[in-house]
Amino acid sequence: MMNVALNSLHARDITYQLHPYTNARRHEEVGPIIIDRGEGVYVYDDSGKQYIEAMAGLWSVAVGFGEKRLVDAAARQMAKLPYYHTFSGKAHEPSILLAERLVKMAPNGLSRVFFTNSGSEANDTVVKMVWYYNNAIGKPEKKKFISRISGYHGITIASGSLTGLPINQRGFDLPLPMMKHVGCPHHYRWSEPGETEEAFADRLAAELEAKILEEGPETVAAFIGEPVMGAGGVLVPPATYWEKVQEVCRRYDVLVVADEVINGFGRTGTKFACERFNIKPDILVISKQLTSSYQPLAAILFSDKIYQGIADQSAEIGSFGHGFTTSGHPVATAVAMENLDIIEERGLMENAAIVGEVLQAELRRFADHPLVGEVRGVGLIAAVELVADKATKAKFDPFGKVGAKFFQQGHEHGLIIRAIGDTIAFCPPLIITEEQIREVVSRFARTLKDIE
């Protein structure tokens, strides 16, 4: 174990917690960084050291840390009605107001909302909802989901099966057999020599079609994807990709599910990334920036067609037997309302589009660096992929070695990024200023110099 005072918070953390997404044995050696407080785009550890939070926590703290209006909104709701459920026809004001507001914001006329606590629960709910709907409309065979390699949809049993990353499946006996994966729309890594972005998109759409035909269109219920992939490495698809895959889905009566858990609320420079790529989803999943993650909350927005199918089942089955004790929690939904007020009043989605250009341009200045394979991103989400050999795009061996080193070294420079393998991801709070972006990039440059 590292040299920490007995009974310190560090020692107790090592003794008592199993951390998500953490190498347990390594954690016993190095211990935690204990984040104590936050202010704007900065967080501070328990020794008082300042870090610029270039990941907005986990892609989520849109309005920044220490936003008093959210604290007050939570306190007001706590005092008035700290908890009530939404089962058996019960309701409360904050969840009603938020559902209405989200429907008014939603793309493609999506008209109904179901609340969960997390993105994973939301995607598990999507799976169950689609199964229930297809049973209801007399298509009980239509149950398979198709997602993409490197897609991320969460870690529960169904959502973890939709996810296309080995780390979430190795050792967990996932994916479930009815979850199928097709190619990842990342041109730099997956295109063939000389293939244009457009030809690459066409090939992926053809691959999706072949997969649907191989499985049998009568068995394929839905296609799910993040418009811009986040946790898989910030992967922006070719401009024509979504148009092409949607055509295929419509041809075979396959529902389109847009997972905007990261993308939603201005992250990619438009309110929803569906607008950027002209995606017309049957189902939209949102979370994270919905409350700036001050409270756990996710929402599924879906079409009237799906709602009517589910509602018609009332005569056969009675209640829709799905929901969480804290679905639409009053404090979480009240905080979401206040958070959306702040985002709108301060023009944070517009800010993300403007300062996002600066982030993208500043990072692209590193494109010629010998360790940099690709700089990519859109709006206020970006990544720099580090490679062992720029010419051949060869990855480091072992994969992730340099990313992990960068992540640690970044802390020395007061920089919090996310290392996805050897890809360095950036997703700062939407409140970030141009000057603070330059500070992120300067700390990035210093860290890169250290690991050269």
CB atoms within 10 A of CB 80: 13
Interaction of residue 65 with ligand PLP, rule CB under 6 A: no
Could you tell me which residues are beta bridge partners of residue 300? 114, 285
Interaction of residue 38 with ligand PLP, rule CB under 6 A: no
The distance of closest approach from Cβ of residue 32 to ligand PLP in the complex, given in angstroms and rounded to an integer, is 19
Interaction of residue 289 with ligand PLP, rule CB under 6 A: no
Interaction of residue 118 with ligand PLP, rule CB under 6 A: yes
Q: Which is nearer to ligand PLP, 309 or 428 (CB)?
A: 428
Q: Which is nearer to ligand PLP, 259 or 439 (CB)?
A: 259
- Interacting residue with ligand PLP among 114, 115, 145, 152 (CB under 6 A): 152
- Interacting residue with ligand PLP among 54, 130, 212, 231 (CB under 6 A): 231
The distance of closest approach from Cβ of residue 262 to ligand PLP in the complex, given in angstroms and rounded to an integer, is 4
Q: What mask of x and - would describe binding to ligand PLP in positions 157 to 196, judged by CB under 6 A?
A: ----------------------------------------
The distance of closest approach from Cβ of residue 226 to ligand PLP in the complex, given in angstroms and rounded to an integer, is 5
Q: What is the DSSP letter of 10?
A: H
Q: Whole-angstrom Cα distance, residue 20 to residue 23?
A: 9
Q: Whole-angstrom Cα distance, residue 302 to residue 112?
A: 5
Piece of 80-88, 116-124, 170-178, 201-209 that binds ligand PLP (CB under 6 A) = 116-124
Q: H or E stretch including 444?
A: helix 434-451
Q: What is the DSSP letter of 389?
A: B
User: Residue type for 72, please?
Assistant: D
Q: Whole-angstrom Cα distance, residue 405 to residue 29?
A: 15
Please answer whether residues 394 and 388 qualify as being in contact, where contact means their C-beta atoms are separated by less than 8 angstroms.
yes
Interaction of residue 227 with ligand PLP, rule CB under 6 A: no
Instruction: Write out the two tokens for 234.
Output: 């910030």
- Interacting residue with ligand PLP among 209, 226, 338, 439 (CB under 6 A): 226
Interaction of residue 259 with ligand PLP, rule CB under 6 A: yes
Q: Whole-angstrom Cα distance, residue 321 to residue 124?
A: 14
Interaction of residue 154 with ligand PLP, rule CB under 6 A: yes
> What percent of the residues of the chain are helix, what percent strand, and what percent coil, each to the nearest 5?
45, 15, 40
Q: Whole-angstrom Cα distance, residue 224 to residue 447?
A: 36
Residues contributing to the site for ligand PLP (CB under 6 A): 118-120, 123, 152-154, 226, 230-231, 259, 261-262, 287
